[in-house]
Amino acid sequence: MLTPPRIHFRGRGFFYACLTLPGFPAYNTCVRLNPPPSLIGYPLLEGSALIRATLPFAHEQRARSWWHLWSTLTLLVAGTAVAAAPLPVIVRLIGGLFAGLMQCRMFIIYHDQQHGSILKKSKLADAMMTAYGVLTLNPPSTWNDSHNHHHKHNAKIRGASIGSFPVMTVTAWKEASKGERFMYAFSRHPLTIFFAWFTVFFYSMTLKSFLRKPRQHIDCAVALVLHVTIWVLLAVFTPLAMVYAFIIPCMLASILGAYLFYAQHSFPDVDLCEKSEWNYCYAALKSSSFLDTTRIMHYFTGNIGYHHVHHLNAKIPFYRLPEAMAALPELQSPGKTRLNPLAIRACFRLKLWDEARHKMVGFRGA
């Protein structure tokens, strides 16, 4: 049975008609109409109706998913090989930086596979992504626990710190002890993100998780032993390769990944709420940002900059997030972040949630 079409305004003069036909992939049933029909003023959707409108995009294209995985892995290996080879310093440095960017993109593929939005029920993909998570200090057991909690509690003033950077209110800050203030300020400090390879991924994501629940997080122990072993072997036998092919890529990927995760929920227009007032759709659209950046950076970051769309429906594959945003007018006015120095500085200055003014402020504004 053919369902009635839902027609959306794109924002550049285009409309999309999305049909659902049993037996056919949903991605074949969204077509662009041009010139647009006279539907200006079409009512915006909210709540469950908006989530339902994203369902046509929450279907992976399996061949496309495999292409993204293999092409990304190939480029990652190529960049690492260049960084490890006995080549001129500038060439090795470029190779290491490129490998770091591709490592970030590969992480988004891992992230989506863990969400079940791509390559679901593939034993090969499960094995590859588990290995990647362990190698990059994002073991599946702790990653899924913390990240699933993050999706369920995003934008809540209390209870959202698991799997995310903690948020303290101005009132709580004033009542906190010196020790509590220090630990909170440290968790949101730029140096914590700069050294995220150690502070976020080695310690918090892996070591801390294993020490807290060792039986549940055996893969964390494997990740720690493997990571230290690689470090020692490279340091002993090929220290320059360790610098260019291991330290530089891992540092860059960790910095970029940690900062994006921070800025996607700590930006000037972010809105938070108490648990009693929390709404899933509102949290996705108002507490998750859109990264306004270049096409090449969207490629390297696996479209995770379309973060408000991802939080609205985590089953949308990363390569279909731009498509969903383009088709749904409700997704086209998000809070934005950028990767320029002024925007980064603005995000780092946001430390506390001011309940009275209903916005994030710095420590000086508390």
Whole-angstrom distance, CA of residue 285 vs CA of residue 280: 9
88 close to 238: Cβ distance less than 8 angstroms? no
14 pLDDT higher than 90: no
Is 52 inside a domain boundary?
no
Is 123 inside a domain boundary?
yes
Tokens coding 177: 């002890």
187 close to 166: Cβ distance less than 8 angstroms? yes
Is 51 inside a domain boundary?
no
Is 53 inside a domain boundary?
no
- CA dist list (Å): 296 to 101, 105, 179, 299: 11, 11, 42, 5
Is 56 inside a domain boundary?
no
72 and 33 housed in the same domain: no
Beta strands in 10-76 (DSSP E): 15-18, 30-33
pLDDT at 162: 58
91 and 221 housed in the same domain: yes
85 and 122 housed in the same domain: yes
258 pLDDT higher than 60: yes
37 and 117 housed in the same domain: no
- CA dist list (Å): 6 to 21, 30, 52, 226: 13, 10, 11, 50
Of 54-63, 110-119, 135-144, 268-277, which range is least confident?
A: 268-277
pLDDT at 356: 86
263 and 127 housed in the same domain: yes
Handedness of CA 10, 283, 51, 64 (dihedral sign): positive
188 and 254 housed in the same domain: yes
pLDDT at 272: 83
- Confidence band, pLDDT 50/70/90 cuts, at residue 223: very high
167 close to 353: Cβ distance less than 8 angstroms? yes
195 and 290 housed in the same domain: yes
131 and 220 housed in the same domain: yes
The phi, psi pair for 270, rounded to 5°, reads -65, 150
15 and 138 housed in the same domain: no
pLDDT at 285: 87
359 and 298 housed in the same domain: yes
Is 322 inside a domain boundary?
no
Give the pTM: 0.85
13 and 134 housed in the same domain: no
169 and 273 housed in the same domain: yes
Helix 140-153 / helix 218-237 crossing angle, nearest 10 deg: 120
pLDDT digits (tens, 9 = 90+) for 53-84: 999 999 999 999 999 999 999 999 999 999 99
Give the β-pairing of 290-291 and 168-169: unpaired
End-to-end CA distance of the chain: 58
pLDDT at 163: 56
Which of 270, 287, 325 minimizes the C-alpha distance to 303?
325
- Owning domain of residue 356: 62-315+335-365
- CA dist list (Å): 360 to 234, 266, 293: 44, 8, 23
Q: Residue 45 carries which side chain, given as an amino acid letter?
A: L
Report the alpha-carbon angle 171-177-179, nearest 5.
130
Is 269 inside a domain boundary?
yes
pLDDT digits (tens, 9 = 90+) for 28-40: 444 444 434 434 4
pLDDT at 61: 95
Please compute the mean of the pLDDT values over residues 234-254 and round it to a whole number.
96
The count of structural domains within the chain is 2
Please, is 53 exposed, middle or buried when counting C-beta atoms within 10 Å of its C-beta (0-12, 13-18, 19+)? Answer: buried
108 pLDDT higher than 50: yes
* Average of per-residue pLDDT values in the chain: 86
Is 155 inside a domain boundary?
yes
- Confidence band, pLDDT 50/70/90 cuts, at residue 159: low
